[in-house]
Structure 1
Amino acid sequence: MTAPNPLMLQEAREAPQVIARQLTENAGVVRALAQQLAQQPPAYAVTVARGSSDHACTALKYAIETQLGLPVASLGPSVHTLYGTRLNLQGALVLAVSQSGASPDVVENVRMAREGGALTVALVNVEHSDLAQEAEFVLPLRCGEERAVAATKSFLASLTAFLPVIAQVGANSALRGALEALPRVLNRALAQEQAATDLAERYRFADRLLVLARGLHFGVAQEAALKLKETCGIHAEAYSAAEFSHGPKRLLAEGVPLLGFAPADAAAGATAQAYADLRASGADLRTLGPQEGSNLTTPATGHALTDPVASALVFYLFAGHLALERGLNPDAPPLLSKVTRTR
C-alpha cells in the first residue's frame, strides 16, 4: 500500500528552511573553523562516513580540491576498527559526516584521529551524539528530526554545511553569494515536482538503471543510485561518465536505461559529449541538472558548488514519486532501519 504523501517527500520539501537555518545558526563555528584552518593549514584532508553521508563526502572532496587545492582521501573505517591500525593523521583535516552521529566505527576513527593530532570536524544532525562529543569542531546540519528511513534533508544539509568554511578560507565572494541565495533557489527547485513526477513515469517498470555524472555531481549520482535501491527496489549503480566506456558500456547491449546528471560547470562540455556519444550508440538516456536542454532542468544556483544541491533535491522528488508509481511506500523499505551501527 502506498503513502500518498510520504515522509521522504515531506522532508525533502523542508530543504530550503533547513539550509537557511544552517547558514544563520552555524555562522559562529564557521568563522572559528575558518580561522583555525587559515592559521594552521592542513597538509591534506580525509573523510569518514558511510552510506548517504559518504556520498556527501564525495561531493565535499571535489569542493575542497577544486576550491582550496587540498587533496582529500576517503578513510576506510574498518582499517582501524577491525584491523586495529592506528593511521598517522598528524596535521590532517578529518571530516566525519553522519546524520545520527551514532555509528561506532565513525566515532572511533574520529577519536583515533584527534588523539593522533588531526583537526577533527563533525558534520552531524544530532548535536549531543557520540560523534559530536569526540570532534574538536561541530558543524550541525540543523535538520531537526529526520524520520524517513531514506535520508533527504540531512544529505542536502551535509552537502552545504562545509561550504561556508570553504567560502571564508578561500575569500570566495561568489560562493558566499550563492549560499545566501540558495534557500530561494531551492524553493524554485520544489516547483519542479510535477516535472519530476512526469519523468518518474518513464521508469515505472525499470528493474535496472545506471546513473552517470562527472565531477561535482558525482557524489549526487552515488546518492541517486542508493536511493533507487532503497526506495524503488531498482538495481542501480553510479558511474563516472568518463569511466562508463571502459567496460560498463557493455550493458547497453542488454537495454539497461541510463539517467545522467548534466552539470553547467567546467565538466559540462565533456559530459555533454559523453552523453551524445552514448545516445549515438543507441543508449536510452535521460538527463537531469542545470545544463540547458536537460530532460529535467534544475534551477541554476549561481555557483558550481551549489548546483548539485538543487539537482539532488529534484532527484529526491523524482525518486519519491517513482516509488509511488511502482506501488511502493518509500518510507518502508524492506530490511532497512533509520540508524545503522557498524564497527
Structure 2
Amino acid sequence: MCGIVGCMLKDNRKAAPVLLDCAEKLEYRGYDSVGLATYDEKIHVKKDEGYIESVDEALDLADMPGNYGIAHVRWASVGKPSKRNSHPHLDEEETVAVVHNGTISNYTILKNKLIGEGHKFISQTDTEVISHLMEKFMDEGLNLEHALRKTIELLDGSYAVVAISSREPNKIVATRKDSPLVLGEKNESYYLASDIPAMIKYTNDIIELNKGEIVVITNEKMEIHDENDNIIERKPVTIDWTPEMVEKNDYEHYMLKEIYDQPEAVRRTLSQKDKIRKILEDIGDIEKICIVACGTSYHAALSGKYIIESEARIPTNVVLASEFSHSLNIMDEKTLLIGMSQSGETADTIKALNSVEGPIKMAIVNVEISEMTKIVDYTILTKAGPELSVAATKTYTAQVTVMYMIAAILGDNEELLNKLNKVPEYIDDILENRKTIKSMAKTYLYANELFYIGKGFSYPTALEAALKMKEISYIHAEAYASGELKHGPLALIDNNMPVITIIPPGKDHNLTLNSLEEVKARNSRIVTVCSEDDDLVQDKSEECILINPYVDEILAPLVYIVALQLLAYYITIEKKHNPDRPRNLAKTLTV
C-alpha cells in the first residue's frame, strides 16, 4: 500500500518540490516514512521515519538538486518503520536508487544469495534486494532497463518499481506487476505515480502501464516497452478530475472535505443513470447476482443486496472478497458477478473476480484506469472524485447510489430513480446541522465501546457507521441487526455502553423501537438517528440526530450514514486523533 512517484522535468526545473508535492497526495497510502532521491552529478537522498511534514521540517525535502528523481511514502509491511527501512533504497555503491510498492515473497532467498556473493545489506526490507540485483546486472554489462527486466524475472510477489542510476544519467525506468502505476505527460515533462491524485495538478492525461511492461523516461521522451522490447504506442485517457479536488481548501482534514463533497458526489454518480441502463440492457436477463468486496465497499454491497432483492426480486449474494475462495460459488452465464472497490486495485477483489469463469463480470470503481476494469465485461464509475482520506466516505455513498440505480432499473422502478434525485438535498440538510452533531461528540469521549443497531435497510448502515468509528477514533464499536441483540449481545449492555440506533420511518420502525426499549431497560444511554417528526423515538432517547422526515427507510442508507460519519469525525477530533491518518491503516490494499 505504499505510494511511489517519479518525474523528469523540462528546462532543468528542480524535481524535488514536485516530488514532495506528489508524495503528499499519496500519504493515504502510507505514512510510516518518506524519502526522495534526485540526481545531479550523483544520487542525492533524503529520507526518514515519520509523517511528511515532520520529516520535511527536519530535512527540507524540497531543497535537493536535479531535474529528475523518485519519491516514496511507506506503509510498513516487511521491516518495521525506521530510517534504515525507509525508501529509496540504494545498492552499496550508491549507483542505483529504487522505490517499490508491493511485497516480494522470495526476498529472503534472493537476499541470502546476494550476501553469499558479497553484497552488504543495511535494511530489513524486501525492496533492498531490487537495488542490489540491478547493481549486479549492470556490473555484468546490462543497461538500466535490461537490468530491471532481468531483476523482475527473479521476483515472486507483487511490485511496482521505479529506479534511477548514476551510471545512466537522465533516465528513469519503471515496471509493475499486481501493484498500480500510472504515467502522465505535459509540456515535455513526464510523471509516474501509484495513483492519479499524485499527478493531477500537473496533468490529467493519464497513460496506463500494464503488467510486465517497462517504461523508459529520458529528458527527451517516454517510451513503453513490452516484454520483447517492442515499443508500445498508447494514447492517454483524460481524467475529469481537477487539482482543486485533491486539495483540502479551507477544511482541516481531507475526511471532513470529503464528507462535504457527498451531495455533489451523489449528483455526479446519478448522471451515470443512462449509461447504467444501457449496460443492464446489454447484459439482458439475470437470474442471480453475486457481489464481492472488502471493508467499506462490502457494506455498500450489503446495502445493494437489500435494495436489489427488494426492488428487482433477484437473489443477491454478498461475499467478502478475502473469503470468496471458501464459498460454493456456482455461477453461469445468467449470473452477474460484481466486484466493488474504490480504487479498482484491491488485491482480494481482483483475485476473486479472476477465480471464476462463466458469469458476466462487472466492476464498480471510482478510478477509470485500474486493474479491475481490465478483467471485467462492464465497468460503472462512481464519479465520487479523488478520495484522499483513508476512511472512505463519499465513495461509500457513491457506491450505494450505484446499487440503488441498478436495483431501480432492474426493477423498472422510475419512482425510486426520481426519489434519488432528492438525496443530495437531504444530505445538505445534515451538513447544515453539523453543529448539533459536533456538540454531541463531547458527550461520548468517555465511551470505550459503542453499539450500533439497525434493521433491514439500516443494518448495513450500522455496520459502516461502526467501522468509521473504530478506524478513526479507536473506540471499539460493533454493529448488530437490532433483532439479534437478545441472542447474545444484550449481555454486554449496561450504563457504560451507549447504543446508537438507526430508526428511519418505515415498516421496520416499530420492530427497531422494540429493540430500543430492550436496551433502555438495561440502562444504556440511547442515541438515535431518526426522523425529525418522530416524537415517540425522541422521547425515549438521550440524544437525537434528526433527519428530514421525507427520508424513509429505503432512502435512509444514502442519508443517515452522513450524520454518523460526522459523529465519528467529531469524536475523533475531540480525542485529538488525526482522522486522515488512522494508526496501522492505509488506503488501496494492493497486497
2:413 alignment partner in structure 1: 172
1:174-202 Cα shifts (integer Å, max 9, x gaps)? 21111112222221121121111122222
- Indicate yes or no: 2:330 matched with 1:88: yes
**Residue ranges of structure 1 left out of the alignment (5+ in a row):** none
For residues 396 and 382 of structure 2, what CA distance do their matches in structure 1 show? 9
Counterpart mapping for 1:124-143 below 5 A: 124-143=365-384
- Say whether the 8 Å CA contact 1:209–1:259 is kept in structure 2: yes
Quote the Cα distance in structure 2 between the aligned partners of 1:80 and 1:269: 36
Q: How far apart in 2 are the matches of 1:80 and 1:222?
A: 20
Contact 1:33 / 1:165 at 8 angstroms: preserved in 2?
no
Whether 1:329 and 2:578 are equivalent positions in the alignment is yes
Deviation at 1:332, TM superposition (A): 1.4
Equivalent residue, structure 2, for 1:184: 425
1:308 aligns with 2:557: yes
Tell me how far 1:15 sits from its aligned partner. Answer: 0.4
Using a 3 Å threshold, how does the CA distance of structure 1 residues 165 and 74 change in structure 2: closer, same or farther? Answer: closer
> 1:62 is matched with which residue?
306
Which whole-Å CA distance do the structure 2 matches of 1:243 and 1:340 have between them?
32
Pick closer, same or farther for the CA change 1:289–1:132 going to 2, 3 Å. farther
Aligned 8 A contact 2:312 2:408 in 1? no
CA distance in 1, matches of 2:258, 2:456: 27
* Greater percentage in helix: 1
Give matches, 1:218-237, under 5 Å. Answer: 218-237=459-478
Partners of 1:322 and 1:108 lie apart in 2 by 36
Partners in 2 of 1:79 and 1:277 — Cα distance? 34
Contact 2:337/2:361, CA 8 A, preserved across alignment = yes
Aligned to 2:241: none
Residue 10 of structure 1 corresponds to 257
CA–CA separation in structure 2 for the residues paired with 1:197 and 1:156: 21
Is 1:123 aligned to 2:364, yes or no? Answer: yes
Mapped partners of 1:237, 1:61: distance in 2: 21
User: Hey, what's the Cα distance between the residues in 2 that align with 1:181 and 1:74?
Assistant: 28
Task: Identify, as 1 or 2, the structure richer in strand.
Answer: 2
- For 2:306 and 2:392, locate their aligned partners in 1 and report how far apart those are by CA, in whole Å: 21
TM-score (norm 1): 0.91
What is the aligned partner in structure 1 of residue 279 from structure 2? 33
Paired with 2:415 and 2:274, the residues of 1 have a C-alpha distance of: 20
Q: Tell me, in whole angstroms, the C-alpha distance in 2 between the residues paired with 1:105 and 1:147.
A: 21
Q: Which amino acid aligns with 1:143?
A: A
- In the TM superposition, residue 80 of structure 1 has moved relative to its aligned partner by 5.7
Q: Secondary structure at the match of 1:75?
A: strand
Deviation at 1:256, TM superposition (A): 1.8
Aligned residue-pair number:
333
**1:44–1:92 CA contact under 8 A, matched in 2:** yes
Q: Any gaps of 5 or more consecutive residues in structure 2? A: 1-247, 539-543
- CA separation of 1:289 and 1:140: change in aligned 2, threshold 3 A: farther
Structure-to-structure mapping, 1:45-56, within 5 angstroms:
45-56=289-300
TM-score normalised to the size of structure 2? 0.54
Equivalent pair of 1:213/1:239 in contact (CA under 8 Å) = yes
Q: Structure 1, residues 205-250: CA drift from partner, whole Å, max 9, x if none?
A: 2111111111101111111111111110101111111001111101
Distance 1:254 1:201 in 2: 17
Please say if 1:319 is aligned against 2:568.
yes
Contact 1:139–1:162, Cα closer than 8 Å, also in 2: no
CA contact (8 A) 2:347 2:589 kept: no
